[in-house]
Chains A and B, each alone.
Chain A
Amino acid sequence: MNRYGVVQEQDWNLLQDAEFQALVRAEIEANYPEELRYPPRRLYWREQRVWFQRMAEKGWIAPSWPTEYGGMGLEPAKLLIFLSEQERWGVARFQDQGIRMIGPMLVNHGTEEQRRRFLPGILSCEDRYCQGYSEPEAGSDLASLRTRARRDGDAYVVNGSKIWTTMAHDVTHIMLLARTDPDAVAQRGISFFIIELSTPGITVRPIQDIAGHRELCEVFFEDVRVPVDNRIGEENAGWDVGKSVLSYERVNIGTPQMPAYALERLQTIARLRGMSQDRLVKGRLAELKLDVKHLSDLYTSFAAILVEGGTPGPDVSILKIWATELTRRIADLIGELAGPAGAVKGQVQVGDEQVDVLDVFYKALPSTIYGGSNDVQRNVIAKRVLGLPSEPPLRGDARPSRTPRSGSDA
């Protein structure tokens, strides 16, 4: 038993890959609710809590965290198996940003007191997080954010609004970037907070998207008092904390999960439409299959950094770019192969089965935008990885010159 109360039955990394795979598969197949497989939209917590609470009790909720913090401590190969087994069975994802981002961030930037305070709630799934980064006037240009946090005694008073906060209406906490020094150069006056959404003064309003889902939200802050202890990292040093959270996010968006799921849907639809053996279709399927395989290979090298408790460098953006644009390409081919069924919303009969043909389309479409648009990712790589020179400033751009910006929504 470690100090976070999570016990691992064994050191999973000592198992043969095939043994570990069989074990994970057996658990999922025996216990994952059949009606929740391949959900076409994000599920609400009440719909899926039974499964994830089971995972939490089993100690399987944080596969990539080190065991000393209550995770499974899986090495990259095992982590990929763990993820791909969920993929294979169409296991839903919950709003797991606490697992994927807050945990690693607290390990690197939090105090011991903050880890003790926040990690147990994440591990038990009682606390679930959304990401308060983007604002109406600060999307990819995140450093322009205006939400204010003004120090008042042992608390900060927050005013402003956040947007594109996925599932804010279904979680308990928000991670927030807010301006604590309005006079500093853009990135330097920002601090990072964890806030309970039940705090007085917070209003959440869902936004309907073009898929018909209500997953995105706006979050309004009106004189919201946040204890100083909820600030992560130093005052005005939140940009670096936020950036490290984004680098975890890019690893997460860059997992092979979404493209692998999309590829499986593509193969199924090609089969149901009797087109799997078409010479041209086969060639495109084979190419996409290797595109997914090489994403896995690429992911493995970044996952190794996470498992060792590190933070990936700016080159991690290539994962996000490749994973999301690959999913878009798969979605395009699904549309081409689906015929008239490709226009039908929700489940439709294709060959012998009911499938949601547009599911991948609507999953892929926003993915090149969220987590920092792919264009901004390319800017970051060009400057910080390839060492290419900055663009000259636009005339009339009065803002001080900056390091590359990086934005996010999720």
Chain B
Amino acid sequence: MTNSPNTSSFVGAAPEEMLADLKAVGRKAVPPDVARVRALRDEGQDFDRAQWQRLVDLGWIGLSAPVHLGGEGAGMDVVATVAEVLGRAAAPEPFASAAVLPLHWLAQLPGAAEQVVEDIVRGELIAGPAWQDEAGSIAVASPSVRANGGADAPVLNGTAWWLPVPDADVFMVLAQLSGEPVLVRCARDQRGLTLVPLELADGSRSAHLRFVDAPIEPAAVLARGDRVLRTLNAAVDATRLAVSAELLGVMERALEITLDHLRQRVQFGRPLGSFQALQHAAVDLFIQMRLTRAALEGATRVWTDPGSTDRDRAAASSSVKARASAASALITTKAVHLHGAIGFTDEHDLGQYVNRAVVLGAYLGTAHEHRDRYQELTDDEGLNKVGVAQ
């Protein structure tokens, strides 16, 4: 734990009008389109590469990358605005896990990793970050993949769990080599690598990467040393904020669909929304949505504050992820209830938002885990209990 200045490069707050414009333009460019998502799922695709390219062309994929590497050098307020638009659209494209996370991680590792950043920004490479342990621990303490055989002929053994983008072109694997953390670039067809896929609730997949005596080129080790872990932890916290913003978009759209239903659906000779019991239920969901928005604004204020430390940022990300995970679960499930049986059908758009909330709510830490972490990060007696980058 540290009170030293932040690990990622600092970007200050964008003007409010600029963010509002971006949101308006973004909502037009990527409107809610559940039919598209359903079609992709039925074809067995996690996401659409052509749509990814459109996001590249919009400049969104490269938002988090510094300008000198071809990116936009944008702050987390801008990243959050885009993530919220994508969440609202139920877009399955892995913006958080394949743009925000690898860019925040790799851009801070000068050397070979920068090339990967440039390729991601140009849309030429989709890189899947593979770093989690079996428990899905909220902080990365030590890599679960080990490299042995020495620096000249490293061989990987072990498993990187819960990889969110199994379709990636390459994997960015966190491993342990000669007692220090390293970042290894690993191709899909790597000898000795097996992907164990998992089907997720929203139709996308995740995978465990199992390495058994997988030989890698020495040049595939892109970075080494404690900074690999430190920058990864900071990048994961940035990603948590982006995922929270995506969840805000998810819950906002689910609530919108539900309010439309309450206004239009007539039972007992009255619109459902005229029943006070249902009005009050809807208000409670609205409150949770507004709390999430406020928590997100609070967290981005910390991230765009030049005086904030890694610890401040970690607490801010845990704060908003705890709220976003819990609120999106509450809003989307209660939305199904307010719809009645139609809300439980696959043909209704709402279901995709429910399933998206399930997946994103669990990704990078549940509400429970983040409440605990926030408590420890903001409690002086809890110093050093949580493994945020040293």
Binding site for B on A (CB under 8 A): 16, 282-283, 285-287, 289-290, 293-298, 300-301, 315, 318, 321-322, 375, 378-379, 381-383, 385-392
Contact check, A391 vs B294: say whether CB atoms are below 8 A apart: no
The answer, yes or no, to whether B337 is at the interface (CB within 8 Å) is: no
Q: List 24 A-B contacts (CB under 8 A).
A: A283-B372, A285-B375, A286-B374, A289-B374, A289-B378, A290-B371, A294-B291, A294-B295, A294-B298, A294-B319, A300-B297, A318-B283, A321-B283, A322-B291, A378-B283, A379-B279, A382-B282, A388-B262, A388-B282, A389-B263, A389-B270, A389-B271, A390-B274, A391-B276
Binding site for A on B (CB under 8 A): 259, 262-263, 270-271, 273-276, 279-280, 282-284, 286-287, 290-291, 294-295, 297-298, 307, 319, 322-323, 368, 371-372, 374-375, 378
Contact check, A289 vs B375: say whether CB atoms are below 8 A apart: yes
- The complex places the Cα of A16 from the Cα of B305 at a distance, in Å, of 12
Nearest Cβ on chain A to B37's Cβ, whole angstroms: 26
- The complex places the Cα of A297 from the Cα of B284 at a distance, in Å, of 18
- The complex places the Cα of A289 from the Cα of B271 at a distance, in Å, of 38
Closest A-B pairs by Cβ, 7 of them: A297-B298, A382-B279, A286-B375, A388-B273, A297-B294, A298-B294, A286-B371
Contact check, A391 vs B274: say whether CB atoms are below 8 A apart: yes
Residue of A whose beta carbon sits closest to that of B280:
A378
- The complex places the Cα of A391 from the Cα of B278 at a distance, in Å, of 11
Interface SS of B by simple majority: helix
Q: B287: which of A322, A383, A392 is its contact (CB, 8 Å)?
A: A322
Known: A285-B375, A388-B262, A388-B273. A293 touches B280 (CB 8 A): no
Known: A283-B371, A290-B323, A382-B283. A298 touches B290 (CB 8 A): yes
Residues of chain A within 8 A (CB-CB) of B298 are 293-294, 296-297, 300
Residues of chain B within 8 A (CB-CB) of A290 are 319, 322-323, 371, 374
Nearest Cβ on chain A to B198's Cβ, whole angstroms: 28
- The complex places the Cα of A405 from the Cα of B212 at a distance, in Å, of 69
Q: B270: which of A298, A300, A321, A392 is its contact (CB, 8 Å)?
A: A392
- The complex places the Cα of A16 from the Cα of B307 at a distance, in Å, of 10
- The complex places the Cα of A315 from the Cα of B294 at a distance, in Å, of 13
Q: Which one of B283, B297, B368 has the highest number of Cβ atoms from chain A below 10 Å of its Cβ?
A: B283
- The complex places the Cα of A287 from the Cα of B298 at a distance, in Å, of 17
Contact check, B283 vs A386: say whether CB atoms are below 8 A apart: yes
Residues of chain B within 8 A (CB-CB) of A375 are 280
Residues of chain B within 8 A (CB-CB) of A386 are 259, 279, 282-283, 286
Q: A321-B283, A382-B273, A391-B275 are in contact. List 9 more A-B contacts (CB 8 A).
A: A289-B371, A289-B378, A297-B297, A297-B298, A300-B294, A318-B290, A379-B279, A381-B286, A383-B279
Residues of chain A within 8 A (CB-CB) of B323 are 290, 294
Residues of chain A within 8 A (CB-CB) of B307 are 16
Contact check, B295 vs A297: say whether CB atoms are below 8 A apart: yes
Contact check, A387 vs B259: say whether CB atoms are below 8 A apart: yes
Contact check, A287 vs B371: say whether CB atoms are below 8 A apart: yes
Residues of chain B within 8 A (CB-CB) of A301 are 294, 297
Q: B290: which of A296, A315, A387 is its contact (CB, 8 Å)?
A: A315
